[in-house]
A and B are shown apart, each in its own frame.
Chain A
Amino acid sequence: MTNSPRRFRRALAPLGAVAVISLLAACSSGGDTTEPAAEDLTSARDTLIFAIKEDPTCIDPQQTTLTTSLNIGRQVVDSLVDQDPETGEIVPWLATEFEANDDLTSFDFTLRDDVTFSDDTALTSDVVKANFDALFALGRTASLASQYLAGYTDTTVTDDTHFTVNFSAPNVVFLQGASTMTLGLVAEASTAATAEERCTTGVIGSGPFVFDSYTPNDSVVITARSGYDWPSGLREHTGDALVSTIEFPIITENGNRTGGLESGEYDIIQDVPYIDAARFDSDDYELFSKANTGVPNGLIPNINHSAVVADSAVRHAILLGTDRDEINDLTGAPGAAAASSSLTSSTTGFVSQGDALAYDPDAAEELLDDAGWEVGSDGIREKDGQKLSFVVTAFYAQDVLEVAQMQLKKIGIDMQINITDAGGFFGAIASGDYDFLAAGLTRTDPDALRTVFSQAAASKWAIIDDADLESVLTEQATLNDVDARMDLIAQAQELITENADFIPLLETVQLHGASSTIEGFEFDSASRIQLYDVRATS
């Protein structure tokens, strides 16, 4: 991993934080459509094969939280607005104009009048209302959507193309949420279908592709729809998608995906292991990488579960006793930044806590000595007969945890790793049965902090006792003033570091690979994939 590939298509460099701050400033800038470049694009081949790493489980983009499934769903549904991944600016898509009121409790939209779903029904304000009403009613079944729609009261329809979305409390994330596939719009027939039905047969969207088939544990196939003519201004072309079929075979074994890319069986593969990046560092391949935004992978405590975790000296010692640079060198993507806060460095509002988080095993040992944790005969510290030992529950990134485990053992901390599956992980969250969770949360907005750390959030992962942090997190979600809000986001990161409420470990980078004949592969602002422009050159 020492020789970093040179041909990275996308810089790993974070989005300029300043640029992304314009996210909210863009609220009132509707109507300013940039004309797509009228380039004459064609594809040399009609069918592309995109190997994915796991079964999507549920192919309804509104319900799923799995990136693999969201990536496919993105091609089938369009959203009200789009977000420029470079600048963070919210731009028109299905809505030509949009405006938020000052306290972020109501949002006016004006729809395009020429959009149809693939069942030939038209997109009208009533359909949007049916979408949001149905989605809000799903509650935690659609957990991502319920966060974007927090406080939703209703949608007021003025006429076929004008409507207002209303919230009972300020909603700082709605507009950005409206650019995601989670709030992507489906036809009225789909809003009436049951949640289970939509998971297995998919939804009817207005996007450039339609679901053709989904065979669990085998593949998903989407086909292009003719007559599509409403891409957002961020896309390279207009009209129909450039390829007629995209197949997504489910290939769970990493070696099979990389091997298939090498042999030409697959055109694009999801998740190239970092260790293989150097293998595809040639003119025949293209690697696409993007640093995840949101909360980096790290240890998330539950202080109610164990006296060890509740001991703030222990958490501080873990914070000082983990060497994030070494973790990044050993397990991170080539060229990625080491984790240095409770937000990743590419997230809006990120403030490095690097000084407070610098690796200092001596200071960590001193903290533990002072707190009465004495080194026992087996090298593990103990106090009053209790071992300094805890269990970390995770469902991915075992290597990251093993490095942390090695490092903590040096200062006498015994960290046990419990690798389970996604079901076991979320089950542990639901039952509160964990010492630490190890995971990251990918979100475009720094409100991700509230999702993970606010004790009032239904979706919270951390069980902590930090009243100052709670009030800061609650307050930031109500502020329309970007600067004031970012001050609070900075404060929240400081508080989390001060109280050792989170032990950051690694900033995850998505790394996908493709044959160099593939062009038009794009990430959206939430690091999800857009395939509307994708094509093969001969």
Chain B
Amino acid sequence: MKTLLTRPGMIVSALIVIAALALTFAPQLFATHDPYEGIPADQLQPPSAAHWFGTDALGRDLYSRVVYGAFLSLATAGLAVVVGVAIGAVVGLVSGFIGGRVDFVLMRIVDVVIAVPSILLSLIVVAGLGFGAVPVAIGVGIGAAGSFARVTRSQVVRVRTAEYVEAARSMGVRWPAILVRHVFPNSARPVIALAALEVGTAILAVSALSFLGFGAAPPAPEWGALVSYGRDFLATAWWLSVLPGAVILVVVLAVNRLARAIGGER
């Protein structure tokens, strides 16, 4: 407790992440308006007491749209990380545990995947799968899978030769059980730390893809799409891009701060 209080940055970050999760799962508690219903008379109003983030060209309340967009953006980012960890962990486990030629081939493939910028990889996947939140999540996940595979493999190689694994093997435990019961749990911690760190990156990647128009179909208020929508109004209605952009910034910073703490960094 004492360590927490001496680190106000941590407390603020934690509060922001809790708030973001609350928006994600109970947007109706926080929104002040219907995110899809425009009031034509209120079009393009600057931030005010009635419309905290102002309104867009169709008279929709931007704050409520950001609130409802949290689910799309954060859930998509979460799904992306799950996809990345799942693919990466399987490849890393197999590669590290079996070793030899399989290890060599899998790791060279991972090298190639990592050599391609992840945003480009995501774009290719999304172009193949079609537009929408799930394809974007899969695309971003595949883009991140390479680094998960590497980390997992390095841990597995370390754990594989540990004494308790040797012991289990000498007692005749079959290898799938060794893999699941002994190797995986003991190599998971760095992977989890990396996953937490990857959430922030994934939020950015998902927002970037939906900024480019690959995300959820309109009028879904995905955060990146909100920023993109505001581009045409930068000179006349700055709040349309700036405020959703600021929300993305704050959430990603907070997630990153917490993730570093999980990873053991101070």
Measured CB to CB, the closest approach of chain B to A385, in angstroms, equals 23
Known: A330-B59, A402-B58, A418-B217. A409 touches B36 (CB 8 A): yes
Question: Residue A29 at the B interface, CB < 8 A?
Answer: no
Question: Residue B162 at the A interface, CB < 8 A?
Answer: no
Q: What is the 8 Å Cβ interface bit string for chain A, positions 390-424, against chain B (1 contact, 0 not)? A: 00000000110111011001000000111100000
Taking CB atoms, residues of chain A closer than 8 Å to B59 are 330
On whether the beta carbons of B217 and A399 are closer than 8 Å, the reply is no
Q: What is the 8 Å Cβ interface bit string for chain A, positions 1-35, against chain B (1 contact, 0 not)? A: 10000000000000000000000000000000000
On whether the beta carbons of B57 and A330 are closer than 8 Å, the reply is yes
**Looking at chain A's contact residues, is the secondary structure mostly helix, strand, loop, or mixed?**
helix
Question: Residue A354 at the B interface, CB < 8 A?
Answer: no
Question: Residue A457 at the B interface, CB < 8 A?
Answer: no
For B59, the closest partner residue in chain A by CB is: A330
For A274, the closest partner residue in chain B by CB is: B57
B residues 231-247 with Cβ under 8 Å of A?
A: 231-237
> Residue A417 contacts which of B43, B218, B233 (CB distance < 8 angstroms)?
B218
Question: Residue A369 at the B interface, CB < 8 A?
Answer: no
Question: Residue A254 at the B interface, CB < 8 A?
Answer: yes
Known: A399-B57, A399-B58, A402-B218. A1 touches B43 (CB 8 A): yes
On whether the beta carbons of A255 and B217 are closer than 8 Å, the reply is no
> Residue A419 contacts which of B57, B58, B213 (CB distance < 8 angstroms)?
B213
Question: Residue B128 at the A interface, CB < 8 A?
Answer: no
On whether the beta carbons of B40 and A254 are closer than 8 Å, the reply is no
Taking CB atoms, residues of chain A closer than 8 Å to B40 are 326, 329-330
Known: A330-B58, A406-B38, A419-B213. A258 touches B219 (CB 8 A): no
> Residue B231 contacts which of A254, A329, A416, A417 (CB distance < 8 angstroms)?
A254
Question: Residue A279 at the B interface, CB < 8 A?
Answer: yes
Measured CB to CB, the closest approach of chain B to A340, in angstroms, equals 19
B residues 29-61 with Cβ under 8 Å of A?
A: 36-38, 40, 43-44, 57-59
Q: What is the 8 Å Cβ interface bit string for chain A, positions 246-283, against chain B (1 contact, 0 not)? A: 00000001110011000000000000010110110000
Question: Residue A527 at the B interface, CB < 8 A?
Answer: no
Report Cα–Cα, A469/B232, bound state, in Å: 41
Taking CB atoms, residues of chain A closer than 8 Å to B37 are 406
On whether the beta carbons of A398 and B218 are closer than 8 Å, the reply is yes
On whether the beta carbons of B217 and A331 are closer than 8 Å, the reply is no
**Looking at chain B's contact residues, is the secondary structure mostly helix, strand, loop, or mixed?**
loop
Taking CB atoms, residues of chain A closer than 8 Å to B231 are 253-255
Measured CB to CB, the closest approach of chain B to A361, in angstroms, equals 14
Q: What is the 8 Å Cβ interface bit string for chain B, positions 131-149, against chain A (1 contact, 0 not)? A: 0000000000000000000
On whether the beta carbons of A275 and B218 are closer than 8 Å, the reply is no
Taking CB atoms, residues of chain A closer than 8 Å to B232 are 254-255, 273, 275
Taking CB atoms, residues of chain B closer than 8 Å to A258 are 235
On whether the beta carbons of A403 and B38 are closer than 8 Å, the reply is yes
Known: A402-B58, A403-B58. A275 touches B217 (CB 8 A): no
On whether the beta carbons of B234 and A255 are closer than 8 Å, the reply is yes
Taking CB atoms, residues of chain B closer than 8 Å to A253 are 231
For A401, the closest partner residue in chain B by CB is: B218
On whether the beta carbons of B218 and A276 are closer than 8 Å, the reply is no
Report Cα–Cα, A1/B233, bound state, in Å: 12
Measured CB to CB, the closest approach of chain A to B214, in angstroms, equals 11
Known: A329-B40, A406-B38, A419-B213. A275 touches B233 (CB 8 A): yes
Measured CB to CB, the closest approach of chain A to B66, in angstroms, equals 17
A residues 95-154 with Cβ under 8 Å of B?
A: none
Taking CB atoms, residues of chain A closer than 8 Å to B57 are 275, 330-331, 399
B residues 211-236 with Cβ under 8 Å of A?
A: 213, 217-219, 231-236
Report Cα–Cα, A405/B232, bound state, in Å: 21
Known: A330-B58, A399-B58, A406-B36. A417 touches B217 (CB 8 A): yes
B residues 1-55 with Cβ under 8 Å of A?
A: 36-38, 40, 43-44
Measured CB to CB, the closest approach of chain B to A371, in angstroms, equals 25
Report Cα–Cα, A398/B56, bound state, in Å: 14
Known: A330-B59, A406-B58. A255 touches B235 (CB 8 A): yes
Report Cα–Cα, A255/B36, bound state, in Å: 26
Known interface pairs A398-B218, A406-B58; 12 further A-B residue pairs with C-beta atoms within 8 A, sorted by A's residue number: A254-B231, A275-B44, A276-B235, A278-B236, A330-B40, A331-B58, A401-B218, A403-B38, A406-B37, A406-B219, A416-B217, A417-B217
15 contacts between A and B (CB under 8 A): A254-B231, A254-B232, A255-B231, A258-B235, A276-B236, A278-B236, A279-B235, A279-B236, A329-B40, A330-B57, A330-B59, A331-B57, A398-B218, A402-B218, A419-B213
User: Can you list the 3 inter-chain pairs with the closest CB atoms, starting with the nearest?
Assistant: A254-B232, A417-B218, A255-B234
